[in-house]
Each structure stands twice: as C-alpha cells, then as structure tokens.
A and B are shown apart, each in its own frame.
Chain A
Amino acid sequence: GIQVEQSPPDLILQEGANSTLRCNFSDSVNNLQWFHQNPWGQLINLFYIPSGTKQNGRLSATTVATERYSLLYISSSQTTDSGVYFCAVQPNAGGTSYGKLTFGQGTILTVHP
C-alpha cells in the first residue's frame, strides 16, 4: 500500500516563529488532507489539497503531486497551534479506494509562550 512519511517527527517553537512541515508519499494520490489534532484529541480539518496551494489565515499548504510531497506552513505560531499535525492521502487507485485515507505518523508541534 501507499507509504506516507512526515517530517520532522517533533518540533518545538517559540511563539511567533514560523515552521514548515513536510509530507512525502510513495504513489500518486487524488486526495490529500492536513489535519490538526488538538490537545483535546479533536481532528480539525486544515486543508483539502490534492494539488496546488491554499491559504487560510496564518496557515498555508502546497501539494506538488507530480513530485509526491506536500508542505504545511505555519507562520507566527501561537500556543494554540500545539498538537499533532497529520497528513493523510488517498491513492489514485482508479475509483476502488472509496475515499480510504492513509495517515502519516504525524508531527508533534509544541509552541512555547
């Protein structure tokens, strides 16, 4: 099956710093999502981005599908950004994957005040 690798596994920042999280995947995809799992365990949708670039406030994401990677940018980080960031992909399997997402192992982000 498709492999999803996220880096770095852990990241510690001071409030106000910028960061880039990376997601590499081993096969072509027709869906890629970024999620934030907050300290209460909720999975928050950040971006649905199978290709291209999107921005939402201090967060932006870029997926280069032909090179099989996606980047999540966090600018001016805040303590509320702490948590685990997951990348999840659906392989381009000709309609038989039924929306099944394969998750990376996550990046644990800690933002200190």
Chain B
Amino acid sequence: DTAVSQTPKYLVTQMGNDKSIKCEQNLGHDTMYWYKQDSKKFLKIMFSYNNKELIINETVPNRFSPKSPDKAHLNLHINSLELGDSAVYFCASKKGRGTGELFFGEGSRLTVL
C-alpha cells in the first residue's frame, strides 16, 4: 500500500505541450504539497493545499496550476511546457496545517524535449 502515490512516474514530452501529474495519499492527511527537484538535486516547494484550500503559493510561473479536488488528491497541471521545466516533481503530505512530519511520493520525472 503506497502512502503517497504519483502518476505518471516518467513523462517525456515536447516543448509547448500541456501535461498533468496526479498525486493521491491514503494517510488521511490534511495538507499536501508539490516540490520541484532540479538537476542539481535542490528541492524547493511550489504549492501547498490544506483541505482543498491553497495555503502556499511560491514564486512559480502561472503556467503551473495546482488543483485539489479533495484532501486526498493534489494534481499539478503545466501549460506550454518549456525546457527549463524538466525536473523531478515530488508530492508530499502531512497531518494538520502547522508543524509535523512530511511524507513524500516517489517523484515524477518530467523531461521536456
């Protein structure tokens, strides 16, 4: 039973395309996140939702749009993909809104050609 699962795990696409990555957690957590890991392995937060409410929105191009249909799901849609969007995108979740332990999914490696 995977606690935080992401699909797809690998995504190869052309510049200019639109793509989505889906995330689901079965931990009963309230807060979910998207992090981006660049080619230098640096991890940076992008967005966070708590019970379907957007609570963290870092400086990210508006081509990236998160969507949370319910507290167990958080999707990431990317429009007009650019070469620089190539990265590994990690979903994470935690209980509650404040402090607490984060758990990460396995990552989705996006390659833009």
Contacts and interface: CB of A to CB of B under 8 A. Distances in A.
Contacts of A50: 99
Contacts, number: 64
Interface string A92-113: 0001011111110110000000
Interface of A: 30-31, 33, 35, 37, 41-43, 45, 48, 50, 84, 86, 88, 90, 95, 97-103, 105-106
A34 to B, nearest CB: 11
A101 B102 contact: yes
Contact of A98 (B43, B97, B103): B97
Which of A86, A103, A106 is the most central at the interface, judged by chain B CB atoms within 10 Å of its CB? A103
Interface in B23-59: 31, 33, 40-45, 48, 50, 55-56
A32 to B, nearest CB: 10
